[in-house]
Amino acid sequence: MKLALAGINHRTAPIDLREKLAFRADEIPTALSHMRSRGAKEALILSTCNRVEVTAALDDAFHSEALLECMVKRCHGISLDALRPHLYVLEGREAIRHLFRVASSLDSMIVGEPQILGQMKDAYRQAREQGTLGGVLDTVLSRAFSVAKRIRSETEIGATAVSVSYAAVELAREIFGSLNKKRVLIIGAGKMSEGAAKHLLRAGAQDIFITNRTRERAEYLAELFQGEVISYDLFLARVPEMDIIIASSAVPGHVLTRETIRRAIEIRKNEPMFLIDIAVPRNIDPAVNDLEHAFLYDIDDLQRLTDRNLRARQEVAQQAESIVAEEVERLQAKLRERDLTPTIVNLQEQLEVIRLEVLGRYRNRLGSLTPEQEEALEALTRGIVNKIAHGPISEIRREAAAQAKGEESRDAELVSAVRRMFRLQ
C-alpha cells in the first residue's frame, strides 16, 4: 500500500482558484465516501483558505493522479487540464515530508502560525468519524502531530509575533504582564480591529469595549468577542477608564489628541496607558509619545517588529526542517518494516512447516529418544531453519532501510523473488 497526496496551496494557485476547489465542511463526508468508492483504502481531506489537499492510502496499482478527480469533480467549468499547472501530487516519502511540514506550519504563508495544526486535527477527526482513517493515515497523521509538537518545544518557531495585530497584543503583555482585568477600547471595527480583538481574548483580556461610527458593525464585533459597544459620540468620556486602546478607524484626522490622553492619565492618577495606532492615516496624535505613562506605537513600529520577528522565524525554520528530515526517515523505516513484516512472517511460518514435516517423516527411523536428545534434535533443526531464513530476511531489511533513506533500492523485486522461491501465499 502507498501513501499519496494531491493538492494546491497559496504558492501554487491564486485565491480565486482555491475558492473554487475548497470543500465546505458539509461536503467533506460525501467526498471521503467518493474517494473510498473509487478505490482509496483510506482518505483524508484538508481544506483551508490557503490550501486544498486530499491524502489517501492506495493499493500499489492505483494511480495517484486519480486523486485529482476527487478535487475537481464538484467544480463546474473547471477542467483537470486547466488545473494541472497548479497541482502537486506527492507519494511515499515526499507525501510524509509534506504532511510533517504542513502540521509544523513550515509550509504556511506565515511560518510558525498555530492555526494549521488545529485545522489538520479537525480533518483527522472528520476522517475518523467517516470511517476513512486506517492504519497508514492514522500512523502518519499521529506522527505529524508529534513532529509539530516537538518543533514547538525544541525551537522558537512560534515565539515571536509576525502579524501587526498579534504584535500589538504581545507588546501590551510586555507592558502589563497579564492582561486579566485590563480594560480594552477598540476604536474602529475593521479586519485589523477584529484580529486584535481575537488575540486579546486569547491573551486573557476580559473587558473589551468597541466603538465605531457604524454601530451595526460594532455590535457584530461585540457579539463575536463578548464585548460591549460604546456609542461613538460618547467614547471620549470613557477613555480614562481604559488601560489599552487600539485605534483602527477610517476617520480622517486624529481621533485621540495629546490633550485628551494627558487628561485621561491625570484622571487615572498616572496609571499607564498603552495605545496602538494601526490606522493609516493615523488616529492618534504622535505627540502623545511625549507624555509620561503613555506608551504609543504606530503601524510602522509594529511592522518593523513583525519584519524582524519574521526573519528570526525563517532562521529558526532551518532547525525545524532538520527535525522534519529526521522524523521522515524514522517513520519511513517504520512503515516499510511494517509492509515487509507479512513476508518475513510468512517465510518463517513456511520454513517451520517444512521443518515439522521433515521431522515427522524421519522421527520413526530414529527410534526412542531421550528428552535430552529430543531437545538437541529440536535445537538442531531450528538452527538450520534460522540459518536458511537469515539471508533473505537480512537482505529484505537492508533494502527496506535503503529505501527509507531515499537511496536506490530493489526491495520490491527482492520481496517478490523471495515469495516465489519459497512459494509464499
Catalytic residue numbers, as ranges: 49
Q: Hey, which residues does 58 pair with through a beta bridge?
A: 2
Q: Give the separation between CA 294 and CA 239, rounded to whole angstroms.
A: 13
Q: Give the separation between CA 231 and CA 223, rounded to whole angstroms.
A: 15
Find out whether 262 and 240 touch, Cβ atoms under 8 Å: no
Cα–Cα–Cα angle for 119, 122, 125, rounded to 5 degrees:
155
What DSSP string runs through 191-210? HHHHHHHHHHHHTT--EEEE
| Residue showing cell 522524523 | 327
Find out whether 162 and 311 touch, Cβ atoms under 8 Å: no
Find out whether 385 and 352 touch, Cβ atoms under 8 Å: yes
| Distances, alpha carbon 159 to alpha carbons 130, 153, 167, 293, 310, in Å | 36, 10, 11, 27, 11
Find out whether 247 and 296 touch, Cβ atoms under 8 Å: no
C-alpha cell of residue 56: 489517501
